[in-house]
Chain A
Amino acid sequence: MREIVVISGKGGAGKTSLTGAFAHLAGSKVLCDLDVDAPDLHLLLAPQILRREDFISGFEALIDQDACTACGVCADMCRFDAVVERHGAFAVDPLRCEGCGVCEAFCPTGAARMAPRHCGEWYVSRTRFGTMAHARLFPGSENSGRLVSLLKQKARELAKEEGKELVLCDGAPGIGCPVISSLSGVSLAVAVTEPTPSGIHDLERVCGLCDHFRVPVAVIVNKWDLNPEMTMTIETMSRERGCSLAGRLLYDRIVTETMAVGQAVTERPDSPFAGDVRRIWARIEEFAGVSRRVSL
């Protein structure tokens, strides 16, 4: 089984629009949205939810006011400034609480207690392009890295059950914990970038991250016509870093037009843009070692 994750470093480069198109083009696959913080793939794929589960991860401190003697040990020990004192009473700010349990361990009266945190939900759904594992982290929640790992595991199980050859994942922006979790065990990372100072800067960092975890990278320069010289610079840099070049795409209104009606951009097959995306996908399948049973 092969696994591809689409990432970018910089947000808004076109990850999800392209993942939607690849989901349309790929043959035998299970889909997975690993941008659990701000997931958007479902807006293109209109999933019908078959299974819904709570995501409970980590802990949150609570202080029982009846048992608390206001000694202040918890506030002194907390390294996250999560215990706040108001009018002599101590309470935990859940947004600052890291869930470490130090307050519970050192509270002399047992007033500080840890409770499991309900951070979100995850789903298995049916879409017109196949089965999808996805999730929703509640706004403001944490442990997105763990949710990413859980989703990947579910997607792999689903692919095995259904006899699918590929897990295709939409990744998160940035280089932090959800992105690191999304890279574990993948065959290929597809980095979508744009020829802007932010695009090139963020691509270098995300390629550095992939190098760190020894994940091969294929680069797509989206909106390449915004700055053709910088596109060349990005392609040269990518080649020098040992990345494969999957291709370039024009800054085309068709991307937002199709998004607005909940279509993958390749579902309008006669556009030149869709043709470019198909050629890029064929290269990506080759780079990732996906066998092509059905020719397009």
Chain B
Amino acid sequence: MIVSVASGKGGAGKTTLAASLISVWDAPVAAVDLDVEEPNLHLFLRPEVSAEETVFMEIPVLDEAKCTRCGACVEICRFKALAMLGETLLPFPEMCHGCGGCLAVCPEKALSPGKRELGVLVRGKIQGNEFFAGRLRVGEAMSPPLMREVKRSLAAWLEGRVSLGAADAVIDAPPGVSCPAVCAVMDSDYILLVTEPTPFGLYDFSLAFEAFSPFGKPMGAVINRSDIAGAPVREFCRDHNLPILAEIPFDRAVAEGYARGRIAADVRFSLRKTFEDIRDAVRSAVLDAQQGGQACVK
């Protein structure tokens, strides 16, 4: 089972919740940081890193001697990664989305596969559990290609473990509701949305609900800093049949602990029970969805 921890708004408590869930998980679990632009999970889980692999995207490299300037590649490219300037073909590798259209269409085989560095795929261990993360190269604009590599690596690990019994994954997703967030949550079995009852928190939460509902996956909400500001998050959940798995009141000690790299479950021992309850609720919702098929009513 794969659980994604997501939220429209940044700073709502995704990483804290993901790290705390992992710390109370009672089966083999992979901690997965898919916020590749600003990965933070490692700062709280402190994995022993075993491998860092540089990940690339395939981009076209031009052999000018073979190029007849026919323009077929410029025509197929919808990302302006190839342009004809007078009699010269100019590749703009930073614009390339790696679709491979130009390589396939070139009649002279003047374009060959080259690569652009996307970032690093990190693997490691946390007290016997697995750790996966992506770290985008600073200056790289596109995060989904690196995220897909991390997901591929995770899928291979989950696949390899099938014969050993159940293994789960908890994904720390990027903020927002556009392509990176969608890429992070789209293949998970459960989407856990973190929010706070502020106007910003509620608005971004409603966007996230709208963005992720079409996947038809079971979803639930955790209301963080539940006693501040008073925006009607609970009413939103009720009106949209979204179960509230926990409400966590503001606690300055937790905020100060976080500021020192400690996760909520370790700062307030009483919170461990809250995170265990969230874990159990998520698990039973996924089982219901798998068995009944209709647990998630949209």
Q: Is A77 an interface residue (CB 8 A)?
A: yes
Q: Is B24 an interface residue (CB 8 A)?
A: no
B211 to chain A, nearest CB (A): 3
Interface residues on A, range: 35 or more
Stretch from B227-235, B239-247, B290-298 forming part of the interface with A: B227-235
Given contacts A10-B40, A38-B204, A202-B40, 9 further A-B contacts (CB under 8 A): A10-B10, A11-B175, A38-B8, A43-B199, A96-B186, A208-B139, A226-B255, A227-B259, A259-B200
Given A37-B178, A95-B186, A177-B141: A105 in contact with B228 (beta carbons within 8 A): no
The reply to whether A43 and B141 contact each other, CB–CB distance below 8 Å, is no
The reply to whether B136 and A197 contact each other, CB–CB distance below 8 Å, is no
The 6 closest A-B CB pairs, nearest first, are: A11-B10, A12-B11, A139-B211, A100-B99, A174-B37, A227-B259
Enumerate chain B interface residues (CB-CB to A < 8 A): 8-12, 15, 35, 37-38, 40, 43-44, 76, 78-79, 97-101, 104-105, 136, 138-143, 174-182, 186, 198-200, 203-204, 207-208, 210-212, 214, 228-231, 255-256, 258-261
The reply to whether A226 and B76 contact each other, CB–CB distance below 8 Å, is no
Give the chain A neighbours of B142 by CB distance below 8 A: 176-177
Give the chain A neighbours of B140 by CB distance below 8 A: 176
Chain A contacts with B in 91-110, Cβ cutoff 8 A: 95-96, 98-102, 105-106
Give the chain A neighbours of B76 by CB distance below 8 A: 101-102, 105
Give the chain A neighbours of B10 by CB distance below 8 A: 8, 10-13, 38, 173
Q: Is A205 an interface residue (CB 8 A)?
A: yes
Q: Is A262 an interface residue (CB 8 A)?
A: yes
A77 to chain B, nearest CB (A): 7
Give the chain A neighbours of B261 by CB distance below 8 A: 196-197
Binary B-proximity of A226-263 (CB < 8 A = 1, otherwise 0):
11001000000000000000000001010011011010
The reply to whether A16 and B200 contact each other, CB–CB distance below 8 Å, is yes
**Which single member of B99, B136, B143, B230 contacts A79 (CB below 8 Å)?**
B99
Give the chain A neighbours of B211 by CB distance below 8 A: 139-140
Q: Which of B38, B138, B175, B181 has the most CB of A within 10 A?
A: B38
**Which single member of B11, B40, B100, B259 contacts A77 (CB below 8 Å)?**
B100
The reply to whether B100 and A202 contact each other, CB–CB distance below 8 Å, is no
Q: Would you mind naming 5 contact pairs between A and B with Cβ atoms under 8 Å apart?
A: A43-B199, A80-B99, A98-B97, A227-B260, A260-B198
**Which single member of B104, B139, B179, B186 contacts A106 (CB below 8 Å)?**
B104
Give the chain B neighbours of A201 by CB distance below 8 A: 38, 40, 43
Give the chain A neighbours of B181 by CB distance below 8 A: 37
**CB-nearest residue of chain B relative to A99?**
B78
Give the chain B neighbours of A180 by CB distance below 8 A: 139, 141
